[in-house]
Amino acid sequence: MIDDETLDRQLREAAPYIDDDGFTARVMAKLPAARRERRWLRAAILIGLTVLGSGIAYLLSGGGRFVVAGVIQLSSFPIWLLLVFAFGCGLVVGAFAVIFAIRKTPEARDLVRFRL
């Protein structure tokens, strides 16, 4: 009798590669239409809500006067404090960018999971 390894090898060799022969094209022809319209709808809702929120904030703040007041206040701060503030903002934005990049990249996500 043949051993397991030989039997497995013969089984693999006995199953030839099946040529596509139009199979993929037939599958593609039967796929439901891509859901692009939903992405457009989502983008439109997000932009609409952002514009609406910004408009309300502008009106409630008396025409954006608080921004001018904030800038005047900032100009009176010492320069080293502004630099520290800018550096801190950069760190926070950078950290968020790295987290989102890891979440969007399967290889990096697996690597992080493996290391942990």
Partner 1 sequence: MELTDADLIARVLADDDQHAFGELVRRHQSSVRGLLRQLTRTDISLADDLAQETFIRAYKNIRSFRGEARFSTWLYRIAYNRFREDARKRKELVGVDEELLQAEHDPQTVDPGLRHDLMHALNLLPLHERTAVVLCCQNGLSHDEAARVLDIPLGTVKTNVLRGREKLKRTLAAWAPN
Chain residues binding partner 1 by CB under 8 A are 1-2, 4, 7-8, 10-12, 14-15, 17-20, 23-24, 26-28, 30-32, 34-36, 39, 104, 106-107
Q: How far is the CB of 55 from partner 1 (least distance, A)?
A: 31
Rounded to the nearest whole angstrom, what is the least distance from the CB of residue 114 to partner 1 in the complex?
14
Q: How far apart are CA 13 and CA 94, in angstroms?
A: 52
CA distances from 68 to 9, 44, 71, 108 (A): 77, 30, 5, 43
Q: How far is the CB of 116 from partner 1 (least distance, A)?
A: 16
Query: 98 with 108: CB under 8 angstroms?
Result: no
Looking at beta carbons only, is 28 or 60 nearer to partner 1? Answer: 28
The smaller minimum CB distance to partner 1, of residues 44 and 108, is found at 108
**CA angle, corner 53, sides to 48 and 55, nearest 5?**
95
